Structure 1
Amino acid sequence: MVPKRLLPGNRAYLDGNLARRKFSPAASEYVIWDTELAGFGLRVRPSGNRYWFVRLRRRGRHCRVSLGKVEDVDALTARGEARKRLAEVALEGLPQRVTTKIAPVVDDYAEEFWTDCARHWKESTQKRNRNVLVADILPHFGKMRLDLIGRAEIARWRDDYANGRESRYNRSVPVLSAMFKYAEQLGYIRKGSNPCRGMPGFRKIKKERFLSPQEFYHIARQLDAEEAKYPGHVTIVRLLIFTGARVSEIRDLEWDWVQLPRLLLPDSKTGAKTIWLGSQAVRIFQSIERADDARFVFPNRTGERPMSLSPWWEAFRRRCALPDLRIHDLRHSFASVAVRERVALATIGRLLGHVLPETTARYAHLADETIAEAAQRVSGGLAGNLGLSE
């Protein structure tokens, strides 16, 4: 039976419901022991922080092993880890079957993982994951053996990113998880022992900005003013406005993919993709002069690669008095205009190239606002007919 108030010395079945309850404050740290698994407990600090732990007896001495914070490790996972640690201690001194492979340290394993797995990724994915590996994973785990990294170590690593670097952790943990998954396949660690599995990431706050009609007007006028000096940059931005495409899908465009009135991209973030063009976008493409044997629609000076847009965009948005405007906001604004024009969310998803419906669902609130505005207009008209005030 779970006590109504959790006090020092209480015993209770430690599950998720209990972990979410409020604990009585105390001047010093106290422990709630589990009623089912001997040695499994929950430490409650005066600050209110709570930690799972297991008490072990090694070589005649008791020790406590932390299993992570309640916010990072759920009760079921903590219980399983405690059971595993207790079983390992119980088997100490008994003859064990010799394993055929000894887990390497992460520094050594990373090279094997990269050689075997990176060749299956896109070039952009390779670059991003290489940066994650070098900057975030190896400095922390490089000297540790794969099989000695548990959920508690992952939780401590996560805590290092809690102050302003949350997005870096969210980008890094999928790469580390993939490394453990491949280590399972190679037999370096036990099947199902990936310590990253189920670990919560930091909550991501979506940055969505929708341009107002006045802001669209200011951008259009500034594009006109800069067209003579930066024709390629201006054309890219106009196409982004009229297509809702990702910047790489327009900037890196090749002439072979331009099949008016559509663009046939052999690859994109979500795979092969067709971008349908409205009449304005078609006219823009028809106005672009194609050099002989040109591969890219928007080449750099050498013609060997697409042009770079970032330095110009940084200055351009300041000249528009919109210093916080990201180029990806043009894509969000395309979707918001589509919602106002009563385009169905499923169709908007097709226009943007979304694979999952929930990706487009972020614009559902805009559709609700549009419907609410329509309802208000209708009710206002009816009120006028009835001689009533709105």
Structure 2
Amino acid sequence: MTHNAILTFADGDVFTGRLVGHSGIVVGEAVFNTAITGYQEIITDPSYHRQLVNFTHPHIGNTGVTPLDDESPQAFVAGIIARRITRHHSNWRAVQSLPGFLCDKRITAIEDIDTRAITRKLRNGGAISASIAPGKSEAVQTEALAAARAFAGLQGVMLASEAGSSRSNTWEEGLWRAAHNDYVGGGGGGKRVVILDCGTKSAILRHLAARGCQLTVMPYESDVAAVLAQRPDGVVFSNGPGDPEPCEAAIKLARALLNQNMPLLGICLGHQILAVALGGKTIKMKFGHHGANHPVRDTTHGRVLITSQNHGFAVDAKSLPASARVTYVSLFDGSLQGLACEAPPVITFQGHPEANPGPHDADFLFDNFMQLMGKHA
């Protein structure tokens, strides 16, 4: 049976559609994502915690779902907004339809929505709180509007503690190999790397494991002695959701590791945390960057990378110390996309070099990190 549902924004705008997946009122910050594929990876990406994702592509769900492609064990999005969600998928790896996956993960979605209108609304007006609710009666509309207005947004909110690991573990799974029809282990025996988990994606770990790294995933609030006890050759501050500046424990740890001259790699939220630890400031973006087609210019070589992006905050380049060199900038809005330091040895990237979904133009950054660790062994 098809049920009506409403998408309600905090400014009072209401869109009527059909409910898909779990039935219940959900709230979050509405964002739009321009990726054509990779809906499963987006849904399970911890960086989307407390966000309602509006897919600009008109059909999602065409290739179904396989658990092998999850970026984390749970679905983190607050909800999904779509033009059409496919019931009948076609892909040899799929084991489930997207609607079935949404029900199992208790994710609420609304379809039959003019997603182009939603995208224009967010581009023109900026990020805004919203809710999805089953039904469309007057009472439901009143409750949905109250829920949307009660959601305070993401600025000033620290979400890494909700998305990251609470205990340490190891990781050995490498990249997908079609010949094996599976993820192939990296073999280990190489550099020892600690991942400070602010909400890391599995693909980041796979890229490092594929390069032979021995990986230990630790909570982002770990103390510096616990990290150094692993005798790492380098440390990665992972992606994750929310505002970076309230992540005080991670920033404190980053400063301690900078003082140790430890080779560091920061990805997305990790990039922002390292920038703050170096003395920089961050700003809330109007509507953020969310998609798999974002052009980024390499300031060193002049080349352009097409990248995967997912962030609502950015580092203010003017706030950085002289020791931090800007390495990448967005060609959409000129915002900072990466920095590097010689001493202490740091590489950061605002986008997602591991992609999933998206192009792999920037995955050489993992090789750069390997070289950085080798240089400072």
TM score, norm. by length of structure 2: 0.24
Larger proportion of helix: 1
| CA radius of gyration, larger in | 1
Larger proportion of strand: 2
Question: Which of the pair has the greater relative contact order for Cα pairs under 8 Å at 6+ separation?
Answer: 2
TM score, norm. by length of structure 1: 0.24
